[in-house]
Structure 1
Amino acid sequence: MTLKVVPINTITATRRKILLAAYRCAAEKGFTKLDVDEIVQRAGVSRKILYSYFNGLENLLTELGASGIYWPTTEELLSNAPSRYPDLPPEEQIGAFFTALRRTLETRPDTLKLLAWEMVERTPLSEILEDIRVRTALEFYEHLKQDVPDDVDLPAAVALLGGGISYLAVRSLTSKSYGGVSLQEEIGWERMEQAMHKMLRGLLFPCAK
């Protein structure tokens, strides 16, 4: 099947209604129960209209992932990073990515619900959205201006930090705190961000004073 992805600035009102309906249905029902009939009912359109815009659920989820509705674009993440981001040392650049990601996810509770569904349901549809997240992270890291030491396994470090932050963000939907640190107050996240920066500096520059 050939997938078509329409740039975000060309999304029509009807197309956006369908994307939002799919987003909310998936957040409520998960991936295995995601159903075209429920999407069209929520969007207030016919199946014929949905299929005229999207060639099935796979294409619909692909465009949802690229639209900026489900996952922040690289541009949105950079807009939430410090203006001097290109000149920051690498550990601060990586930390800025995760801080920007956490802040943008706060505005997307349905995305957090979808991340929770991914923990118990892994399907071709969930993999589409996972690929979008990986691609966005890679695009963001293309802006890194400094190299990290050769002996540092940066992908493993990023996976560990990303997994931790995603999990805690999901937990914040139902839990006030985790390990005694607040998940629903900014002071708790600031504490974790400070700890993250220290861990990154220790990983990348263990001999630095």
Structure 2
Amino acid sequence: MSGVKIIPIGQPRTVRERLLEALGDLLAREGFENISLEAVARAAGLERAVILRHFQDLDDMVTTFGQSAVFWPPVAELRAEVADRFASMPPKAQLAHFFKATIRGLLARPRTLDILAWELMSRNRFTRLLEYPRVRCSLEFFESVTGEVPDSLDLTAVVAVLGGAAIFLTVRSRQSGVFGGLNLYDDADRDRVDRVLDLIVAGILREVEVR
């Protein structure tokens, strides 16, 4: 599994990238409660004034980090594995692929999983800022779904339940390695989860269609 690197190997980091890297490391290590411009500046080894030359304020910095592919897998990445055949896949396969690819994208981002673990324990304006890009990513992905998806399908609820399960399972796999007898870093276990996601999504669509 290939990870997502903040700075491509062999290229110097820009100050902006250095600051975002420091913010991500700080959130992953200490969570949201004591985050501040001063804390980020110390972590980056720079002056607070330097941050304000690149970002309006801390909210702007957190928003930028949340919108970056470093933090969350973009739609292009989620569809990369099936890009050449996505349009021809049946809707149930397209929907299931979103959750499968999200799991893989998160496993490739251990720092994101650490941040999500903190997010489960606290709720403030910073957690909300990191939530918005995830919602937009989901909306963008599902707008590209082709074929007939029943209008009666409560897609918002489906995404909330299965997306929440994907986040929880990946965070637990990061923290303890195994959850419920499954290790999502193991290819065979991840394939088992993929098959269950196929069954769940197919069952949901079948149930909606017969109503």
User: If the TM-score is normalised by the length of the shorter chain, which range does it land in?
Assistant: 0.7 to 0.9
In structure 1, the partner of 2:167 is: 166
- Which residue number in structure 1 is paired with residue 45 of structure 2? 44
Q: Which amino acid aligns with 1:55?
A: Q
1:114 partnered with 2:131: no
Quick one: distance in 2 between partners of 1:72 and 1:160? Answer: 19
Q: Deviation digits for residues 165-192 of structure 1, max 9, x if unmatched?
A: 1000000012232222333311111101
Once the two structures are TM-superposed, the CA of residue 68 in structure 1 deviates from its matched residue by 1.3
Paired letter, 1:201: A
Q: After superposing the two structures, state which structure 1 stretch, 160-169 or 199-208, moved more.
A: 199-208
Q: Counterparts of 1:147 and 1:62 in 2: how far apart (Å)?
A: 35
CA contact (8 A) 1:81 1:100 kept: no
5+ residue gaps, structure 2: 1-12
Give the whole-Å Cα distance in 1 for the aligned partners of 2:67 and 2:185: 28
Taking structure 1 as the reference length, the TM-score comes to 0.88
CA deviation map 1:88-130 (0-9, x unaligned): 1111001111111111111111111111111111000110000
Greater Cα shift, 62-71 or 35-44: 35-44
| C-alpha RMSD over aligned residues | 1.7
What amino acid sits opposite 2:23 in the alignment?
Answer: A
Contact 1:21 1:39 in 2 (8 A): yes
Point out 4+ residue stretches in structure 1 off by more than 3 angstroms: none
Provide TM-score, normalisation by structure 2.
Answer: 0.87
C-alpha distance in 1 between matches for 2:192 and 2:74:
26
User: What percentage of residue pairs aligned between the two structures are identical?
Assistant: 34
Mapped contact 1:61–1:128 kept (Cα < 8 A): yes
Which letter maps to 1:192? V
Aligned residue in 1 for 2:202: 201
Letter in structure 2 aligned against 1:37:
E
C-alpha separation between the residues in 2 aligned to 1:199 and 1:73? Answer: 24
Alpha carbons of 1:117 and 1:81: their partners in 2 closer, same or farther (altered >3 Å)?
A: farther
- CA drift of 1:205 comes to 2.2
Q: Which runs of 5+ in 1 are unaligned?
A: 1-11
User: How far does the alpha carbon of each residue in 1:6-46 deviate from its partner, in whole angstroms, 9 at most, with x for none?
Assistant: xxxxxx71101101110110111111111222211222221
Shift of the 34–77 alpha-carbon distance from structure 1 to 2, 3 Å rule, reads: same
Aligned length in residues: 197
Are 1:186 and 2:192 matched, yes or no? no
